[in-house]
Amino acid sequence: MIEELIDNYVRFLSSLTLDHFIRLFWFYIFFEFVRYFALEWFVLNLWKIRKHYNKDKYAMAREQFLFENPLVSIIIPGKNEGKHIYKLIKSLNEQTYKNTEILVIDDGSDDDTPTIGRDLQRAGLIDLFIRNEIRGGKASAANFGLRFTKGKYIVHLDADCSYDRDAIEKIIIPFYMEKDVGGVGGNVNVRNYDTGLVTSLQAIEYYDTISIGRVVTSHLGIYRIISGAFGAFRADVLDKVKGWDIGPGLDGDITVKIRKLGYKIRFAQDAMCLTNAPDTFKKLTKQRLRWDKSLIRFRIRKHKDVLYPNQSFRFANFISFVENITYNLILNVKWYVYLSDMLINYPSLIVNIFITNILLYTVTNFVKFTIYSLYRERSHAPMSYFLLYIPCMVFYFGFYLRIVRSIAYLQETFFKLSYNDPWNPKKTSVHAKKLKI
Amino acid sequence: MKDPNGIERVEESVIKHSGFTFLIIDHMDNLSVEKVQYHNALIIDGKDVDFIRQIVRRVRSHNSPDIYLKPIFILKGINIHDALVNKLIDGTLFNLDQIEFIIPEVERILSRVSDLKFTNSISFEAQMIEKLISFMYTCEIQDLDPIPYVYSGINYAYPILSVNFRQNDEHTVLEILDIAEQEGIFESEYVDRTYLCSQCSSGHLSYREVCPKCGSSNSQTEDIIHHFPCGYVGPIRDFRNEIDDQLDCPKCNKRLRHIGVDYDKPSVLHECKNCSHKFQDYNVKAKCLSCQTDNSVEQLNGREIKKYSLTKKGELAAINGFVSTSKDIDEIIGTVKFETFKTMLKYEIERLRQTEGSSNVCAIHIINPSQVYSKIGSEVQKGLLKDIVKVIRSNIRSSDVISFQSSSTIVLSMNEIPYKISIRILKEIIEILKKLMATAFNNMEVNFEHKVVQLDYKLSPDLHIHQLTKDFNQ
């Protein structure tokens, strides 16, 4: 049986002409390979060259920042995060940049978070612990915290993360590199990469797709999501956009709001943050459904005006949106078109097409992983550990994430399910739904 | 002359009935507390509670059992709403005609007093415990209950013990009771907890919610509003408009309509009017009304307030005299026991009867012992007494003897020496002692008084001692 399959496949390969190859693998060639490898690599090289030439500029920016020594306010909103806070505060107290204030905002926790928060404040490990007795959602907690900040820059953190010793310093420097930078995203990686298959796959995704993808989009000026886990903002800009709006997806939303005002958004690859990724497919699916729904809710629905040629039109924002919509929404649809095309036109070759696609993607993944190592700031895990998992990535990206994304798009397009997400309190979501925001 | 009720007026303020004399106090000027010891009971004639309280305190705080154990009655029969006074008196009368009704009570108390023996302990604590249990014995009280009392420095009074201390020193009561409990005189039962100033141990504290930054209690509180549609969170003043009483969201300009539907109030925010600091959790501070220290509540000294019951050992100690505690002070070198002193005094009087020389007996008394001993521990107390004895010893001849009548009264003999010279020597000793105390204790005043009595072979040793100490300010 297997021999027959191999025989059949070898015959298929030997009969494959270039035209035939393009016809059968157009999706891989024109979308996946071009966008996610060739173009990406090309831009990465441009970025690397610019980084090299900007070395002195970077050093000067750093010097200027340290000379000015501005107060940086770190806000940590969350519910029932008490158990994580001590570890987080420990990594914050280790920071090389010292002129910071730490504010923990408790969004109606029903565990011992208030006790822990007050203890930390009494012990002088944090500057302020404030609490809303009634849960209002992450946006309201962040906005409440924002009121109490005194810093020139605001850093928004998630309580379950920890940070490199120089992470705060590194995330602020981009504000001194260029004018009109409104926000800077930090580089989030997976801390628990070795707890199982799910977290290992996510770790590779964070290294190769999310982190490198952000380097590329940032270089092109179309970087669109400052992660809620680690993002820095100019306080005056946050004041102008009047803080965060209702989530889920509030981190992407605020980035767009800042971009709309004409500010630049940058990615600080060297500002390293480690987070605990979901450790089961069930949890991961829930998280990704939430993330993917926000594309429809915020890009297509709330901020669709970015695509219109009106007064506030900005080309970079337009491209950012188009790129996002094209390579997430449209590409996702195109994949089904490709699948249908193959099933209808080449039903007898479907097994060979499948095997070839798997091989193509796997080889690409290996090559990408190896080549991108040259562009990664650093890894907190041995790269050899991940090589074993690379073959699984084709299934993770090609099938699992694609299916989850498709479900999310359908749920949000037709049923607006993001408004029912318990991640946000219902009392606020009903208003967001009514106001179509 | 007896009236029809059998009352005989002996003096203007003394009456007699059934063989008992009653000293009647109707004015502060009338009261020389020492007079009380010559009568069987005391009747306070007055309606002013402050006046009654003062008289009762002065009698019960005296350190002579001949005075502090005397029955006290209140004339006029007014209702006294002072729990401490009520615990320290033995009854009330509507008028003097009812005196016959209190005779059995006077008899009973005096009979029980006659059961008691007293020791002359040098330890202040032991002396206080002895006083406490002998009073309980005469009043047939088994339990010593703490009374919540506004005039108490620790918020609770243990009547017969607390009267011995000024408000500022009243915390010593708890230490004395702890010692008594450790010695097995009392068993205790928890009643409450009181918090005392970390600096001066006063319980008169004013608790205030203060700004965690500057400690000011001057702050204002505002509700925090969360506007659901846009996620804006801020104090209510952000939402007030200048036109009407409506609330408008400063972020999205929408009008707030219905609490719980489009907005809620998840918390409150306090703003310090002194330093403008904004905060949610007040610090609680306790300002001491005695020494003005602003204590954080964690600094306060929490003390248990207990109810005490006399044990069998306690009852026996009350009758036989409270002899010793672990805190007691052993005999101080250079002194003799008070009983020995009295015997030697007796021999000296006998000798004088035959030789007609001039000998004297002297006393030095610490005027404010409860203040002094409440501020220093028993170790320092012992050192203080040793130093005093050392000073006296170096100024008198080696043939003269020194003894302690109580923890605050030192008696000494100056035999074969003229009266005037004795007075001069004693004055010199007092001057040296004053200087010594000023050097040893910076923040504490130790006051002395003294007296010299020339020995008279016609009088007994006890009368000499009485003459010597009767005018001391107790």
CATH 3.30.750 domain residues, chain B:
8-115
Q: Would the pLDDT of A374 be above 70? A: yes
Q: What is the pLDDT of residues B93-107, one digit of tens each?
A: 888 888 888 999 999
Structure tokens at A425: 């309190």
Provide the pLDDT for residue B474.
56
Contacts of B281 in chain A (CB under 8 A): 118, 121, 129
Tell me the average pLDDT of chain A. 90
Report the pLDDT averaged over residues A263-286. 94
The verdict on B234 touching A (C-beta cutoff 8 Å) is yes
CATH 3.30.70.270 domain residues, chain B:
338-469
Contacts of A79 in chain B (CB under 8 A): none
Report the pLDDT averaged over residues A385-405. 91
User: What are the Cα distances from residue A58, in Å, to A64, A171, A176, A184, A256?
Assistant: 10, 12, 8, 15, 26
Highest mean pLDDT among A297-301, A377-381, B389-393: B389-393
Is B264 within 8 Å of A428 when comparing Cβ atoms?
Answer: no
- C-alpha to C-alpha distance for A55 and A37, rounded to whole angstroms: 26
Provide the pLDDT for residue B325.
52
Q: Chain A residue with minimal CA distance to B250?
A: A242
B120 versus A178: the higher-pLDDT residue is A178
The verdict on B232 touching A (C-beta cutoff 8 Å) is yes
- C-alpha to C-alpha distance for A304 and A295, rounded to whole angstroms: 11
Q: Would the pLDDT of A171 be above 90? A: yes
The verdict on A95 touching B (C-beta cutoff 8 Å) is no
Number of cross-chain residue pairs from A and B with Cβ atoms under 8 Å apart: 79
Q: Would the pLDDT of A416 be above 90? A: no
Instruction: Pick from B222, B226, B249 the residue to mutate for testing the A interface (most A CBs within 10 Å).
Output: B226
Q: What is the pLDDT of residues B318-375, one digit of tens each?
A: 887 765 555 555 667 788 888 888 888 898 888 888 887 888 999 998 888 877 777 7
Contacts of B278 in chain A (CB under 8 A): 147-148
Which residues of A, range 239-278, sit inside 8 Å of B by Cβ? Answer: 242-246
**What's the pTM?**
0.69
Question: Which H helix or E strand runs over B358?
Answer: none
Provide the pLDDT for residue A414.
87
Report the pLDDT averaged over residues A284-309. 85
Among A133, A244, A430, select the one facing B231 at the smallest CB separation.
A244
Distance from A143 to chain B by nearest Cα, in Å? 6
A277 Cβ contact partners less than 8 Å away, ≥ 6 residues apart: A190, A191, A192, A193, A198, A199, A202, A203, A206, A284
Is B231 within 8 Å of A139 when comparing Cβ atoms?
Answer: yes
Provide the pLDDT for residue A229.
93
Report the pLDDT averaged over residues A405-430. 86
3-state SS, residue B448: strand
Distance from A432 to chain B by nearest Cα, in Å? 6
Structural domains of chain A in order of their starting residue, each with its CATH number: 2-44+316-428 (no CATH), 61-280 (3.90.550.10)
A3 Cβ contact partners less than 8 Å away, ≥ 6 residues apart: none
Report the pLDDT averaged over residues B247-262. 91
Among B231, B260, B262, select the one facing A246 at the smallest CB separation.
B231
- Superfamily covering domain B338-469: Reverse transcriptase/Diguanylate cyclase domain (3.30.70.270)
Q: Would the pLDDT of B465 be above 70? A: yes
Report the pLDDT averaged over residues A8-29. 89
Report the pLDDT averaged over residues A232-237. 97
Among A118, A139, A435, select the one facing B281 at the smallest CB separation.
A118
Q: Which of B455, B179, B255, B244 is nearest to B342 (CA)?
A: B455
Provide the pLDDT for residue B304.
94
Distance from B285 to chain A by nearest Cα, in Å? 15
Is A128 within 8 Å of B279 when comparing Cβ atoms?
Answer: yes
- C-alpha to C-alpha distance for A397 and A399, rounded to whole angstroms: 6
- Cβ neighbours, 10 Å, residue B132: 27
Q: Would the pLDDT of A400 be above 80? A: yes
Distance from A72 to chain B by nearest Cα, in Å? 18
Provide the pLDDT for residue A341.
92
Q: Chain A residue with minimal CA distance to B267?
A: A132
Is A143 within 8 Å of B232 when comparing Cβ atoms?
Answer: yes
Give the angle A394-A398-A403 at the CA atoms, nearest 5°: 140
Among A121, A133, A428, select the one facing B231 at the smallest CB separation.
A428
Contacts of A435 in chain B (CB under 8 A): 229
A415 versus B5: the higher-pLDDT residue is A415
B467 CB-contact burial (10 Å; exposed 0-12 / middle 13-18 / buried 19+): middle
Distance from A337 to chain B by nearest Cα, in Å? 39
Report the pLDDT averaged over residues B155-174. 91
pLDDT band (50, 70, 90) for residue A79: very high
Structure tokens at A44: 């990465």
Contacts of B230 in chain A (CB under 8 A): 242, 245-246
Lowest-confidence region among A63-77, A254-268, A273-287, B53-67: B53-67
B231 contacts A243 by C-beta, under 8 angstroms = yes
Q: Which of A185, A165, A261 is nearest to A228 (CA)?
A: A185
Contacts of A147 in chain B (CB under 8 A): 233-234, 278
Is B266 within 8 Å of A242 when comparing Cβ atoms?
Answer: no
- C-alpha to C-alpha distance for B447 and B364, rounded to whole angstroms: 10
Contacts of A101 in chain B (CB under 8 A): none
Q: Chain B residue with minimal CA distance to A114?
A: B281
Among A108, A133, A431, select the one facing B228 at the smallest CB separation.
A431
Is B231 within 8 Å of A136 when comparing Cβ atoms?
Answer: yes
User: What are the Cα distances from residue B8, in Å, to A432, B1, B38?
Assistant: 98, 6, 16
Highest mean pLDDT among A6-20, A272-286, B459-473: A272-286
Provide the pLDDT for residue B7.
80
Tell me the average pLDDT of chain B. 87
Contacts of B232 in chain A (CB under 8 A): 140, 143, 242-243
The one-letter amino acid at B189: E
User: What are the Cα distances from residue A260, in Å, to A13, A44, A183, A256, B206?
Assistant: 50, 26, 12, 6, 56
Is A243 within 8 Å of B231 when comparing Cβ atoms?
Answer: yes
Among A132, A139, A435, select the one facing B267 at the smallest CB separation.
A132
pLDDT band (50, 70, 90) for residue A403: very high
Is B230 within 8 Å of A246 when comparing Cβ atoms?
Answer: yes
End-to-end CA distance of chain B: 35
Q: Which of A289, A284, A298, A200 is nearest to A245 (CA)?
A: A298
**Residue-wise burial string across B223-232, b where 16 or more C-beta atoms lie within 10 A, e elsewhere:** ebbbbbbbbb
End-to-end CA distance of chain A: 56
A115 contacts A32 by C-beta, under 8 angstroms = no
User: What are the Cα distances from residue A67, in Å, to A3, A62, A234?
Assistant: 70, 8, 18
Q: Chain A residue with minimal CA distance to B269?
A: A130
Residue whose token pair is 């940086």? A72
Highest mean pLDDT among A100-109, A394-403, B84-93, B388-397: A100-109
Is A136 within 8 Å of B281 when comparing Cβ atoms?
Answer: no
The verdict on B231 touching A (C-beta cutoff 8 Å) is yes
Residue whose token pair is 């989530």? A247
Query: Quick one: CA dihedral A108, A112, A114, A116, positive or negative?
Result: negative
Torsions phi, psi for B155 (to 5 deg): 75, -15
The verdict on B228 touching A (C-beta cutoff 8 Å) is yes
- Cβ neighbours, 10 Å, residue B261: 12
Torsions phi, psi for B250 (to 5 deg): -70, -15
The verdict on A147 touching B (C-beta cutoff 8 Å) is yes
Among B229, B233, B264, select the one facing A431 at the smallest CB separation.
B229
Q: What are the residue ranges of helices labelled H in B224-311?
A: 236-239
Is A129 within 8 Å of B281 when comparing Cβ atoms?
Answer: yes
Among B228, B266, B279, select the one facing A132 at the smallest CB separation.
B266
- C-alpha to C-alpha distance for A53 and B110, rounded to whole angstroms: 108
E strand intervals along B311-429: 360-366, 402-404, 409-414
Provide the pLDDT for residue B307.
96
Kind of pairing between the strands at B301-310 and B186-196 = antiparallel
Report the pLDDT averaged over residues B415-431. 89
Instruction: Pick from B213, B225, B230 the residue to mutate for testing the A interface (most A CBs within 10 Å).
Output: B230
Report the pLDDT averaged over residues B189-210. 94
CATH architecture, domain B8-115: 2-Layer Sandwich (3.30)
Query: Distance between alpha carbon A310 and the CA centroid of its chain, in Å?
Result: 29
Is A136 within 8 Å of B262 when comparing Cβ atoms?
Answer: no
Among A121, A143, A427, select the one facing B233 at the smallest CB separation.
A143
